Amino acid sequence: MPQRAAIGPNGYPVVQGIDLVPTSSLPDRIRSVFTYPLLNVVQSKCFDSVYNSDDNFVLSAPTGSGKTTILELAICRLITTSDPHAFKVIYQAPTKALCTERHKDWSTRFRHLDIKVAEITGDSEVYQLKAISNADIIITTPEKWDSMTRKWKDHKKFMELVKLFLIDEVHILKEERGASLEAVVSRMKSVGSEVRFIALSATVPNSDDVARWLGRNSTTPHRPARREVFGEEFRPVKLTKYVVGLDNHQNVFAFDSTCTDK
């Protein structure tokens, strides 16, 4: 017989020692962004750092643990603390497919709040400039944002509207493409406005380094960003791992081909 979840002092379940946060605690205006009654364990643990603070934040959590909701909470925080259309949100993902998925989802999810979402991954410069000027949330890749903002001083008023910078799959910093991401983050820090950074990854092993790199906020950059790390025990679908041993009776090239097949 399955065990009943413990109930905390707020009347809501406690899972793995963490009080789950009800979405009913959010303002009526933004509550419909979230189509479920309770945040999960990861989201609830991060709630205060993301929604009740303007500090930078780094999250390392398994795939499928609800990291996208963390970004949505940060967006909702900005919406509720800012004048309408007086800000820009930049979301960066390493692949066009992920950008397209996020654009489709957020265009629907934030429509009732009159938040416009634009995806910028490759079309003409004329279309790009028009799209980002009309959009509240701009979805793009690090390479594309890098190319568009190299002459940011030509668009200083626009750049100063950027208040929230969302980095999905921040672990690409260690890859060849990481240089573009590093460049755009450094550029956004130099713009002069108070940009908040939220960085997510399922695989980054050194999230503490990322937290120190981003800094707590624009006024105390020497302190590390807030950070949460969740292990495999928070994975919603448990993985079974196997170890396969292979004898190497071949030359190195043939053995490499064998390993690739496996």
Model's pTM, two decimal places? 0.86
Going by the DSSP 8-state scheme, the letter that residue 177 receives in this structure is: T
Predicted confidence at residue 1, as pLDDT, reads 33
Question: What tens digit of pLDDT does each residue of 86-141 get?
Answer: 999 999 999 999 999 999 999 999 999 999 999 987 654 556 777 788 899 999 99
Q: Give the span between the Cα atoms of 15 and 250, in whole angstroms.
A: 51
Predicted confidence at residue 80, as pLDDT, reads 95
Whose CA is closest to 54, among 193, 236, 241, 209?
193
Domain 26-261 top-level CATH class: alpha beta
Predicted confidence at residue 262, as pLDDT, reads 73
Query: For the chain, which residues make up each domain, given as ranges?
Result: 26-261
Residue 128 has phi, psi (to 5 degrees) of -60, -50
Confidence of residue 2 (pLDDT cuts 50, 70, 90): very low
Question: What tens digit of pLDDT does each residue of 4-47 get?
Answer: 568 876 777 888 889 999 999 999 999 999 999 999 999 999 99
Residue 226 has phi, psi (to 5 degrees) of -60, 150
Q: Which helix (H) or strand (E) holds 72?
A: helix 67-81
Predicted confidence at residue 3, as pLDDT, reads 43
Paired tokens of 196: 């908040």
Residues in CB range of 216: below 8 A, 6 or more apart: 55, 56, 222, 223, 224, 225, 226
Question: What tens digit of pLDDT does each residue of 179-225 get?
Answer: 999 999 998 988 866 899 999 998 888 999 999 999 999 889 999 99
